[in-house]
Structure 1
Amino acid sequence: MRREYIRSALLISCSMAIGVVGWSGYVTLLPVALAFPVLWSIARTRMIAALVSAGYFLAASRGLPQGVAAFYSSDFWPGFLFWLCASLSFVAVHTVLWTGTAGIRSFRYLLAAVIMAIPPFGITGWAHPVTAAGVLFPGWGWWGLGLMTVGLAGLVTRIWPAVAIALTGFWLWSAAIWTDPKLPEAWHGVDLELGVSLGRDTGLQRQRDMIATVRRAAGKGARFVVLPESALGFWTPTVERLWTGALADGDATVIAGAVVIDADGYDNVLVAIDRNGSRILYSERMPVPGSMWQPWRSWFGESGGARADFFANPIASIGASQAAPLICYEQLIVWPVLQSMLHDPDAILAIGNGWWTEGTSIVAIQRAATTAWAKLFAKPLVIAFNT
């Protein structure tokens, strides 16, 4: 009995360590998360499988309580409760589908992986081990994703040591030749350090500062300049006229985050602006649940909150090329990027406004995950974040 207790405690402790290290924000450490399926499979009871799942997920998403507290300017407890609630879907899926029968375990785990990759459970499908495919199989595209899927299935069978050795070999090979994704030619992503004021300071001086930033980038040869999420604040006719007028004497195209409001709520969008005018380039498919996306409001006849377009506009046409936009939260989950890759875009655009994540690894994790996907599909990557 004592031996079983120690074994279970070790499994749970290891799952937590895996969550911390694998999701530390370093892209080449993402394959550490592949140890989670092994621990899940060797759990001897459903309860231990549930605790292993909880330990992994809570450790991987450990920055959430502090981030939520900063976002709402509240104390630690609301963020802590939200952190626990967010883990429920991951833990529930892996607990229900756990089995002690070796013959069907790989099917059960793959089913859990698929469920956590697509809505509705995929809405909180953070820390998905399949994200490591880009580190193990850079440039392999859908074949690499397929091999990763086979590898995940193998890690929950009795031959998992052999599968783990093979995957480790790919990991070491990839780490030895690793290079970051390329930036598309004539593109420039602008990182800002404006904190909470970005998107909230909508004064004329802030807009002029943004325009000056774009002009500096264009002066260095950038044809397309990408600004972070919420960089333009509320998208109004006045703001549109200001920007199109500022760009009238140049060839640069600005792609920037903004918010479009109507009577029922708002859309978190990307806007493309050049000397000929502007257009809404992309509407966020999955805003942050809770703080932005609040579907329960409609149940009580209320309006407000960001709209989730789920499977809409997976790619955006920019000039003669197509890009896969990912706004903030979409970089942490699986289906938006895979849906976009089905259309074989020319590049990935990743923008965010992470002022509220100060002191956490959330932005680093977003960057690491997006980098891994870009490497898997051999796509150039443009990143623009505000911190």
Structure 2
Amino acid sequence: MKPTFFLAPAFPWRTALRRLLSVLLTAVAALAWVLPGPALLGPACSPLLIVGVLLAESPAGRFLSALTYFGIIGSALPGEVQSFFGSGWMVGIGLWVLSSLILAGPWAWASRGWRVVVVLLIEAVPPIGFLGWASPLSVAGVLFPGLGVVGFALGLAILWTLAVLVRPASTLNALTLSMVASIVISGASVWANAAYTPPEPPAGWLGVNTHVGRETGDVMTEVSRNQQWIDQASAVVRAKAKSKAGAKQRFVVVLPEDVAGTWGPGTAAQVRAAMRPGDVWLVGASVLADRPRWDGRYLDAVVGLGQRGDAVLFASPAPVPGGMWKPWDGEKSYTASRWWEPVQTIAGVRTWAAICYDQGIAWPWLQALAQRPDVVLRVSNFWYEPAGAVAPRVEAATAAAWARLLGASVVTAVNRG
């Protein structure tokens, strides 16, 4: 009689335990992102993806471990895509399955520390970087706040060290080096956290949360809807101006992503009519791109009024693939051709915007890391927000970790229904 599966010599209990842990650890890491909890819990637990992957003994096992991580994090996509875009469940399911497979694939190759680092970087930059949410790179913000590029390098070093300790290198020197590095880097992390004080936004910078739902497409309805969010923002400004400190203050008013819908001269006139002299309003809107090769395409943008007239100051380098960015669609699609988003000086402050989906992936944050803004605008539009929506949590957690790494203050503006 042949031995049963669990008693077979080829499957000793230690091997079975490693295989179980390789999946369980990545599942725990994923749940830290998607379940309610402290903002930095997901980034802090994300290195468990590396531990789980390296506990697997084969490419197939490593792929399954990574697929568990990305599959759980993306499991809410079908419902959220349907709620936001109304594009049918199959689009959401397809995006969930495809993105999970694409992100899990490279981890099958990640059998050593240096390969782990390569995979992390591959999944942080285009083309895979357009889908690279919940990256373990965000742990750098948890461990090394305020250290910027140096903190990012230390974060990569500690992830490499973790990988070497889980799957030791063949040489004793490499293992010794990784152990010494882990001690030194851990000390640097303790020092960085002890020395870090979260910065406050500059005086007069106001993030305004609105409640006006989505763009309707009807001209007259949009005029009324625009007046609602303009009135909501004006009320916040008036309340601040009544205080002793705000009596002579000039305000920078930050409004949510796409709150104005399709931007045009009429909307601009409505906003200017409500602005106090000297104030600057930063308004999320869909702006028709002005380059011939983007004909008919839109930018998911932030328009500035009051400082230099009306100007598109920021535009998302990565609108939601398959939802907003649809290269195959000639209708109202957004462009991802503007891949680099430069820092702008607004009211004397170096400013950068993380626009909704950009907040959850590493690629836009690497751009910010290279430029070191003083203020990050975190603008989102969650008018749909079904119960238990995961995307807002992943975006908020990722943004919190990266802004912490930058040492930048954050001004948040969110639209809901």
Shift, 1:334, TM fit? 0.9
Q: For residues 122-133 of structure 1, what are the structure 2 equivalents within 5 Å?
A: 122-133=129-140
Kindly, what percent of the aligned residue pairs are identical? 29
AA at the equivalent of 2:102: S
- What is residue 70 of structure 2 aligned with on the other side? 57
1:376 aligns with 2:405: yes
- What is residue 33 of structure 1 aligned with on the other side? 46
1:206 aligns with 2:225: yes
- What is residue 271 of structure 1 aligned with on the other side? 303
- What is residue 82 of structure 2 aligned with on the other side? 69
Following TM superposition, the consecutive aligned residue runs of length 4 or more in structure 1 with deviations greater than 6 angstroms are 160-179, 198-201
Residue among 320, 325, 336 paired with 1:293: 325
Shift, 1:355, TM fit? 2.5
> More displaced, 195-204 or 160-169?
160-169
Contact 2:139–2:401, Cα closer than 8 Å, also in 1: yes
AA at the equivalent of 1:321: V
Shift, 1:171, TM fit? 7.5
AA at the equivalent of 1:295: P
- What is residue 30 of structure 2 aligned with on the other side? 19
Measured in 1, the distance between the counterparts of 2:185 and 2:25 equals 19
- What is residue 306 of structure 1 aligned with on the other side? 334
Query: TM-score w.r.t. structure 1 length?
Result: 0.87
Q: CA separation of 1:180/1:72 partners in 2, compared to 1, >3 Å: closer, same or farther?
A: same
What SS class does the counterpart of residue 389 from structure 2 fall into? coil
Q: CA separation of 1:46/1:194 partners in 2, compared to 1, >3 Å: closer, same or farther?
A: same
RMSD between aligned alpha carbons? 2.8
Deviations 1:275-305 (A, max 9, x none): 87311111211100001111234xxxx4541
Q: CA separation of 1:117/1:223 partners in 2, compared to 1, >3 Å: closer, same or farther?
A: same
Q: CA separation of 1:223/1:146 partners in 2, compared to 1, >3 Å: closer, same or farther?
A: same
What SS class does the counterpart of residue 322 from structure 1 fall into? strand
Query: TM-score w.r.t. structure 2 length?
Result: 0.81
> More displaced, 284-293 or 154-163?
154-163
Measured in 2, the distance between the counterparts of 1:65 and 1:72 equals 11
> More displaced, 354-363 or 126-135?
354-363
- What is residue 414 of structure 2 aligned with on the other side? 385
Contact 1:15–1:52, Cα closer than 8 Å, also in 2: yes
Shift, 1:250, TM fit? 2.7
Residue among 194, 215, 223 paired with 2:234: 215
Measured in 1, the distance between the counterparts of 2:308 and 2:60 equals 61
- What is residue 369 of structure 2 aligned with on the other side? 341
Measured in 2, the distance between the counterparts of 1:275 and 1:336 equals 25
Residue among 139, 150, 154 paired with 2:157: 150
1:328 aligns with 2:356: yes
Shift, 1:178, TM fit? 8.1
Contact 1:118–1:334, Cα closer than 8 Å, also in 2: yes
* Structure 1 unaligned spans of 5+: 100-104
Measured in 2, the distance between the counterparts of 1:154 and 1:245 equals 57
* Structure 2 unaligned spans of 5+: 1-10, 169-174, 241-245, 290-294
Q: CA separation of 1:22/1:243 partners in 2, compared to 1, >3 Å: closer, same or farther?
A: closer
- What is residue 363 of structure 1 aligned with on the other side? 392
- What is residue 88 of structure 1 aligned with on the other side? 101
Q: CA separation of 1:312/1:186 partners in 2, compared to 1, >3 Å: closer, same or farther?
A: same
Shift, 1:189, TM fit? 0.6
Contact 2:317–2:338, Cα closer than 8 Å, also in 1: yes
Measured in 1, the distance between the counterparts of 2:38 and 2:113 equals 28
1:193 aligns with 2:211: yes
Q: CA separation of 1:153/1:205 partners in 2, compared to 1, >3 Å: closer, same or farther?
A: same
Residue among 70, 93, 109 paired with 2:116: 109
Q: CA separation of 1:47/1:110 partners in 2, compared to 1, >3 Å: closer, same or farther?
A: same
- What is residue 6 of structure 2 aligned with on the other side? none
Measured in 2, the distance between the counterparts of 1:337 and 1:150 equals 19
Q: CA separation of 1:161/1:34 partners in 2, compared to 1, >3 Å: closer, same or farther?
A: farther
Q: CA separation of 1:337/1:362 partners in 2, compared to 1, >3 Å: closer, same or farther?
A: same
1:352 aligns with 2:363: no
- What is residue 102 of structure 1 aligned with on the other side? none
Shift, 1:76, TM fit? 4.4
Measured in 2, the distance between the counterparts of 1:289 and 1:280 equals 22
Q: CA separation of 1:56/1:163 partners in 2, compared to 1, >3 Å: closer, same or farther?
A: farther
Contact 1:244–1:277, Cα closer than 8 Å, also in 2: no
AA at the equivalent of 2:260: L
Q: CA separation of 1:20/1:168 partners in 2, compared to 1, >3 Å: closer, same or farther?
A: farther
Measured in 2, the distance between the counterparts of 1:22 and 1:228 equals 23
Measured in 1, the distance between the counterparts of 2:332 and 2:40 equals 40
What SS class does the counterpart of residue 258 from structure 1 fall into? strand
Query: For this pair of structures, how many residues does the alignment match?
Result: 376
Shift, 1:28, TM fit? 2.8
Q: CA separation of 1:178/1:363 partners in 2, compared to 1, >3 Å: closer, same or farther?
A: farther
The higher radius of gyration belongs to: 2
Deviations 1:229-274 (A, max 9, x none): 1111111112122222332x43221101011236522111111112
> More displaced, 46-55 or 156-165?
156-165
Shift, 1:44, TM fit? 0.4
Measured in 2, the distance between the counterparts of 1:288 and 1:31 equals 25
